Amino acid sequence: MKQVIIPPSYDEFSDVYIVSEIMDADLRDVLDSGEPVGIVQIKYLMWQLCNALAYLHDCDIMHRDIKPEVCTTSGKTNNHRIY
């Protein structure tokens, strides 16, 4: 996350915008790339996703649109990291 802007009034606060760095790819790009994804890589990606969701839930934040297109990654190499 790049910046947090405090709303002028919490009574009128209704929207949340998250600004982050532009990433090289998303999980859909990785899955559609045609490159083989090994079992170790799949386990690592799933571990990252589960950890991220657990952290959000611990903060009482629910995400209603989990899909590969919203999981940004560091690139299309064998060492993917989800952000």
User: Is residue 65 among the annotated active site residues?
Assistant: yes
Rounded to the nearest 10 degrees, how much is the dihedral formed by the CA atoms of 49, 30, 72, 61? -30
Catalytic residue among 11, 58, 60, 65: 65
Could you count the other beta carbons within 10 Å of the beta carbon of residue 31?
A: 12
CA 60 to CA 24: how far, in whole Å? 29
Write out the catalytic residue numbers.
65
